[in-house]
Amino acid sequence: MNAYEQYMKEISQPMRNELTEAGFNELTSPEEVDQFINSADGTSLVVVNSVCGCAAGLARPAVRESLENGKTPDNLVTVFAGQDREATARMREHFTGIEPSSPSMALLKNGKVLHFIPREEIEDHEVEEIVTNLTKAYNQYC
């Protein structure tokens, strides 16, 4: 690992922890993504994490808050755009017809996207709006 990669790993660790401490499993390789997609039962929330400001100030806080009450997905996983590139690319292969976007969130069942929240529905929105968007999807599909 070169100095830049090491620096970015150290910088991004608290951003990773924000989701793993909320119960998310990190998928860091294409093989882990494949294993998850092929074995996951029920609904799954996939968060495409990012180092950008809207991930820090909006996406991660909204995701965490959305899981605090009511229905929630059966599985919580995350890939990190710009960090775990191959895993992120493999996960995005399952977002058929959806442009790559980070941060973003996808609600899946049997490897198929039921609901997707792209960056455009995160950036310049309030945390409460994103929580409402997620909660509606959980209530409909979970």
Q: Catalytic site residues?
A: 52, 54
Please calculate the CA angle 39-106-9 and round it to the nearest 5 degrees. Answer: 85
> Do 103 and 52 form a contact (C-beta atoms < 8 A)?
yes
**Which residues contact residue 14 at a Cβ distance below 8 angstroms, ignoring those fewer than 6 apart?**
none
> Do 101 and 48 form a contact (C-beta atoms < 8 A)?
yes
> Do 37 and 87 form a contact (C-beta atoms < 8 A)?
no
Residue 113 in 3-state DSSP? strand
Residue with tokens 């998850």: 36
Buried b (16+ CB within 10 A) or exposed e, 9-21: eeebeebbebbee
